[in-house]
Structure 1
Amino acid sequence: MKKFIHILMTLGLCLALSGCMKYKMQVNVDSQGKNTTDLKIMFSEDFIKNYLKSTNDQVISSFKTSLAKSSKNAKISAVEKTYQGVKYIGVESKASNSAMIKGIVKDGIVKVTIPVDKITNSLTSSGLDTSTLSNKNYTYQSLEAAGVEVSMSVTMPQKATSNVGSVKDKTVKIDLLKEMMKPKNKRINTITITSKAHDYTYLYYIGGVIGVAALIFVCVKLRKKDASQDETSNEQESETLDQEKEA
């Protein structure tokens, strides 16, 4: 997976400067820190035809071959999507495990680290560093406007915190294209995301229910005891009255 991502991003970003590309990664992390990763990579149909000088089937076949070698046990299939009236062709790899993404669990906290430099370095290694892009008048805004998307979404077991991206409950969304386009000294080298391994809130509810049930039980027992004592007292009073009458 790591090698494929590096090659693909180097190629894709070079070509994306004059065309449209969608690269989406969805990572799901469980309470043990293990991840399953879905990857979707697509080029616009027009880009495939006019810039790659290739057919949709050839591109799909090439992607499938690359993914099959780098993503063991992944379910790989062709995908076709339309965004804002533009048709995209590519492949989707589902339920693979990314060795690049590391997860550990300590003291009930899941911590995931993702080395962004493994992806962003593809810019530099291909000669497309920030200064080169600036000289060619390419900016994050211009690439985004051209339809280029390089994004990652990470879903944690519980409410997440992250040093980059936007967080909504368990999910962190990261615009990798924006990170890539930053000057090297301002890029995040490693994405760090944490969350609790488990949500124990339900235990408080269970404890509350048990507490209420215990209180009700005690109240019922006390009422029965009071009723029994009242009955005994009434019987004793009745016996006393009977004895007085007999006397």
Structure 2
Amino acid sequence: MLEFTVVKVLAAIFTPDFNITNSLKIANVAFNLLEGRLDGEPTILPIPQDAPADIPRITLQSSDKLLSLSVAPSRTNLEFSVPIDLVVDVIDYSSYYSDLPKFLVEFSSELGLMVQRIGYVTERLIIRDDVLSLIMDKFCNKAQTSKGRPFHNPKRFEIHSLKKYNWEDFQLNSWVRLRYLPITIKDEENKPALLVQNDLNTLSYKDDPGSEFNTKVIEKFFDNIPSHLEQIWNLYFE
């Protein structure tokens, strides 16, 4: 199996009724729950409650900038992310992101948040000279990749797939995005790479306005979603 490096993991809860009136208290709750891992310079903005709900009021990050938390009235994101241009070798970063979901369960419980939607996103990267031929051989009709045909020797190439289905009593949107693209590492010449994004989230407020997830259900989602992502991954790359 191809060896990918996990370069991004994002866990999110969507909170349409979150009234941020005491930003310092919320920041302290997050800091304590993560046991000081967000040790970088915090950003707390005095934004009125009636400002757009997707603008973060609180942003915390680790001093190495690999872990960040953003809190807006509409959603809270906890994200592990490695800049693509710094990825050289296959590195196991699991100690950074393995407990991201646990934090959101505790955070929503501590603040008594009404959670309407849940999301989990991963991105994985592989750098290989033959990566374009690998994905074309696997996913494309060979008659369309030969010289003179639409998919011959592209400089960038993407495949997107969206499915909607029921899973573990959740209604899911399941995005898979494959992106072939050149990346630059430490000012060296471009190298061919494949970035694969798996985005799993429950239905939006517009599609399911009556949805509400309690702490137990949020925990169930985050406990089981990594194994479900692996099942999806195996469908594409096993």
Structure (1 or 2) with the greater helix fraction: 1
Structure with max Cα Rg: 1
- Structures share fold, TM-score greater than 0.5: no
| TM superposition score normalised by structure 1 | 0.30
| TM superposition score normalised by structure 2 | 0.31
